[in-house]
Amino acid sequence: MDISKATVLVAGMGVSGRSACEVLAGRAAHVVTVDEGKSDADYHSFADVDFRGIDLVMSSPVFNPRTPFIVKAQSLGIPVVSEVELGWMLRVPSGQSQQPAPWIGITGTNGKTSTTQMVSAMLTGAGETAPAVGNIGKAVSHAAVDPSNQTLCVELSSFQLHFTQSLSLECAAITNLADDHLDWHGGFANYAADKAKVYRGVQRALVYNADDSRVSELAAAAHPAPGCKRVGFTLGAPQAGEIGVQDGWIIDRSGLDATGDDTAGDDTAARSLAAVSDFSHLCEPDGTVYPHLLADALCALALVLGHGIAADRAVEALKAFKPGGHRIQTVARYDTTVDADQRGIAQQTGSAHGGNGHRGESTDRPQADSSNVIRFVDDSKATNAHAAGASLSSFPPHSVVWIAGGLAKGGHFEDLLASYADRLSAAVIIGVDQRPMLDAFASKAPDIPLSIIDPEPKESVMQRAVDAAGTHAHPGSVVLMAPACASMDQFVSYADRGEQFAAQARLWVARRQADPHGQE
């Protein structure tokens, strides 16, 4: 389509919609906006739009494929695209090349953000201008028309991919697959099919989770470009064509060499890239590895090697990487063995965003014996059952006081509890609709003590949740907020939920500092 002659309808004036309008200004013949809740939109009802004059619809991810205006547009033969597709259509040559900047795309149920940020950090460490964009950071359409970008590291949601058709990535990965957003997609098969779009025509490295059978099946069935190399990542010992872990070392058998020449590598040879313990952001202070973060790092390494960055440069940049907020961050600690008068009873973060220490922890004092500490861990980004399971799996049996619940998005939690109830000592249930979580506990973990938080007043939900968790906590406990649900029923966002949790955790610790024997 010749955008310069097109009338484009931008449906939804959120972040992606406003970005699209800015990018289309001066590029499209006409731009028309519609949003029922935004006063500056051209139309406030889709019923007022004359679709006979529309050539292209750019739809916000908030609208599912069954939304009436989308069905109407498609019935009239009008293409409906995502902001990602629009960015791909409008991309301009990089200032470093006569060609547009290549895109490295990451999708999956969980781990997208961490993996995308790791890829960006490694490419930036190697000297490239390679921002993390898309579902995080700057909107992808803005990044696509910025000639200063040499590579785009694009986090892609299933919503964005549904209305994306022509994308052909340089390197692409699916981190994992589990039930999520089934209400939007209308079932898991549709959800998986949209995720699989990242593999269409991928040029250099098709990266897949070899430990996830459904991802492996999509990778095997994909149709990449000729010469593209399929590379698996695994938490076990890697086979030929994989990158994995053996005896505490990251081992590369991908066959991707330092120049990115996929035909030159030898995937029968194994090379050690680094000890897992060298990556502080993948481990607890005592050296315990977070498996899901290690998997994200392996995926990111495979993508960066596929792009052509030398392994030693990639590894050094990854060691210096600092993860984003609300991803399994310790935000407060209470040492139950230290008397309140000694001050130093607790080690807390300097801010709700993680402070300046190791994953949010203060590092200027020695760590207390973990068996004597009550730890508060923010994993608010765990917005579905799969992510919550990965978080729960990181902790010892019977150690977790779990804060769970929220907007279930059509998900169920019986399988989650069947797999990880042994990690729990108690649970605190939040959310407006608590029934899906309560039903799962009744069915699969009826003996776990529960505290149920009244949804109203909403303003005090997190305070009451943390206080309730404190009554269940004992020396060695982890109060873990990995809710397995979206946040929008009671919070502005998962970040807002995480920040409120961190603030209330610090207040709980402060009260114990003042009166360690008091009643909460």
Q: pTM of the entire structure?
A: 0.75
CATH number of 329-338+371-514: 3.90.190.20
Mean pLDDT of the chain: 87
pLDDT over 60 (residue 330): yes
Q: What is the pLDDT of residue 515?
A: 76
Over range 121-148, report the average pLDDT. Answer: 92
Is the peptide bond between 457 and the residue preceding it cis, with omega within 30 degrees of 0? Answer: yes
- Strand 249-253, strand 242-246: pairing: antiparallel
Q: What is the pLDDT of residue 182?
A: 60
Alpha-carbon distance of 59 to 160, in angstroms, equals: 9
Which residues have C-beta within 8 Å of that of residue 265, sequence separation ≥ 6? 229, 254, 255, 256, 257
Alpha-carbon distance of 381 to 178, in angstroms, equals: 15
Q: What is the pLDDT of residue 356?
A: 29
CATH number of 3-81: 3.40.50.720
Q: What is the pLDDT of residue 173?
A: 98
Residue 389, φ and ψ in degrees, nearest 5: -60, -40
Residue 88, φ and ψ in degrees, nearest 5: -65, -40
Alpha-carbon distance of 362 to 376, in angstroms, equals: 13
Judge whether 108 and 178 are in contact, CB under 8 Å. Answer: no
Over range 190-217, report the average pLDDT. Answer: 95
Q: What is the pLDDT of residue 291?
A: 87
Judge whether 425 and 477 are in contact, CB under 8 Å. Answer: yes
Alpha-carbon distance of 230 to 242, in angstroms, equals: 9
Residue whose pair of structure tokens reads 């919550």 in the numeric block:
388
Which residues belong to the annotated binding site for ATP? 108-114
List, for residues 291-325, the tens digit of each pLDDT value. 888 999 999 999 999 999 999 999 999 998 877 66
List, for residues 345-382, the tens digit of each pLDDT value. 344 433 333 332 222 333 333 344 567 899 999 999 88
Instruction: Classify residue 507 as exposed, middle or buried by CB count within 10 Å of its CB (0-12, 13-18, 19+).
Output: middle
Which residues belong to the annotated binding site? 108-114
Over range 203-226, report the average pLDDT. Answer: 97
Q: What is the pLDDT of residue 174?
A: 97
pLDDT over 50 (residue 18): yes
Alpha-carbon distance of 33 to 49, in angstroms, equals: 9
Residue 246, φ and ψ in degrees, nearest 5: -145, 125
Over range 41-61, report the average pLDDT. Answer: 94
Alpha-carbon distance of 169 to 146, in angstroms, equals: 18
Q: What is the pLDDT of residue 366?
A: 37
Alpha-carbon distance of 82 to 12, in angstroms, equals: 11
For residue 386, name the pLDDT band (cuts at 50, 70, 90): confident
CATH number of 92-259+267-320: 3.40.1190.10
Q: What is the pLDDT of residue 115?
A: 95
Share of the chain above pLDDT 70, in %: 88
Q: What is the pLDDT of residue 286?
A: 61
Domain locations along the chain: 3-81, 92-259+267-320, 329-338+371-514
In order of 144, 182, 453, the CA distances from 438 in angstroms are: 45, 20, 12
